[in-house]
Structure 1
């Protein structure tokens, strides 16, 4: 039977899958860059189901809000290796800058905690009762992200030899391996499939916008290098398993 606090019930789940992290590495919106810098995420998610009262294992009195919204909380770990891809690192380019770009490597890691409000166009009590096999959903929310990047070069130490190892755009304080905390906005769309009375599978597509350009540890001057004007972003596709407490 369901257990929980009065007036609502709880669900827990595991979720994970590939992540495409868009940063100052490579060309923006270049497919080779997106494909080459794929990482992964894995996490734990928690739902407050407002339609179901766990004390009596029965539905709460109907309101549009409790029958179409759930509150989603999550703790997510994400990481991705980063390299430069695109025309500027093609073999035909033999300049010092091209060699420096090819020799640059990075790694981005984040630990994130946040909440979302998840909307279901299909009544939740119909899905929970088994009248629907699957339901779509969409959500919006925010996360606090602790990030810790690492950038290095095959040509030498980037901190003591920046002119030898880094293109000009990454010199003079435009690269920093220090950690930090940044907020992000997240938007999800997905689908849930009921597999038993007390468990669901989910497929979840997420777009995440960080309110900073330092998540990858680099921030070329956006007024000079207009190709690097955007903050860091990520897109992830995850598969999850949800069970009802």
Structure 2
């Protein structure tokens, strides 16, 4: 286990311990697990190509923690900040996603040297992330939490993640040496291919809903978009005009949330 991963895990455990220590202040705590398919949008494949979007699919899993302000002691609807308490939650998350990447589209399908080089080139994006989001619930959280108060609680969220990425690269073309730029697509400059691990940030936004399963548990589904501040999380950063954006992903995740305080 790398030093960065250990630091991320320690940070999460410290955060949870601090929040649990605040239980006497009247916060409600929730913890859960999430998992689901990830569509990785990177320099692999052709933009807006269906085969690229359907082929470069990975998987993500995570642990989520919620601080629910709705159960603060001395709660009053007459207080100025009661709307915030009844419609917002803070969500902390430790998650991991991994995707095998290949080239698809008309350029990779060509029966030419460049097409063969694209087909022979593959990679893997591997990201460990720690961050937080602010979730907004248009409907009352308090009403949803009560028995008979409604089964559904839609939400939208926005936040940021710190990302530790560790890509891998391989090719079956030529001498199969990833440091030999001649084994890759013509026009890519030296340095376009990299297996160097690093860290970056990501902006995270999602749209989802909860379903009340029992008084102390919810099912959750959300569709998330993450935009990384780096273009090397996939191990490829070529400088051709077609490279217009940093890496990003779409994650459809399903979760189980348990109320434990």
Report the TM-score, using the length of structure 2 for normalisation.
0.86
Q: Name the CA distance, whole Å, in 1 between partners of 2:41 and 2:138.
A: 31
More helix by share: 2
What displacement does 1:227 show? 1.3
Are the counterparts in 1 of residues 33 and 61 from structure 2 also a CA contact under 8 Å?
yes
Q: Name the CA distance, whole Å, in 1 between partners of 2:74 and 2:171.
A: 59
Q: Secondary structure at the match of 2:144?
A: helix
What displacement does 1:159 show? 3.5
Show the 5 A alignment for 1:136-147: 136-147=154-165
Are the counterparts in 1 of residues 31 and 258 from structure 2 also a CA contact under 8 Å?
yes
What displacement does 1:6 show? 1.2
Q: Name the CA distance, whole Å, in 1 between partners of 2:66 and 2:53.
A: 31
Q: Name the CA distance, whole Å, in 2 between partners of 1:201 and 1:216.
A: 32
Q: Secondary structure at the match of 1:89?
A: helix
Corresponding residue number in structure 2 for 1:241: 256
Q: Name the CA distance, whole Å, in 1 between partners of 2:250 and 2:106.
A: 23
Alignment equivalent of 2:228, drawn from 186, 193, 210: 210
Corresponding residue number in structure 2 for 1:13: 32
Structural RMSD (CA): 1.6
Q: Which runs of 5+ in 2 are unaligned?
A: 1-19
Corresponding residue number in structure 2 for 1:87: 106
Alignment equivalent of 2:56, drawn from 28, 37, 43: 37
Aligned residues: 234
Corresponding residue number in structure 1 for 2:184: 166
- Relative to structure 1, the CA distance from residue 45 to residue 149 in structure 2 (aligned partners, 3 Å threshold; closer, same or farther) is same
More strand by share: 1
Corresponding residue number in structure 2 for 1:67: 86
Report the TM-score, using the length of structure 1 for normalisation.
0.91
What displacement does 1:229 show? 1.4
2:206 is the counterpart of 1:191: no
What displacement does 1:29 show? 1.7
2:137 is the counterpart of 1:120: yes
What displacement does 1:160 show? 4.2
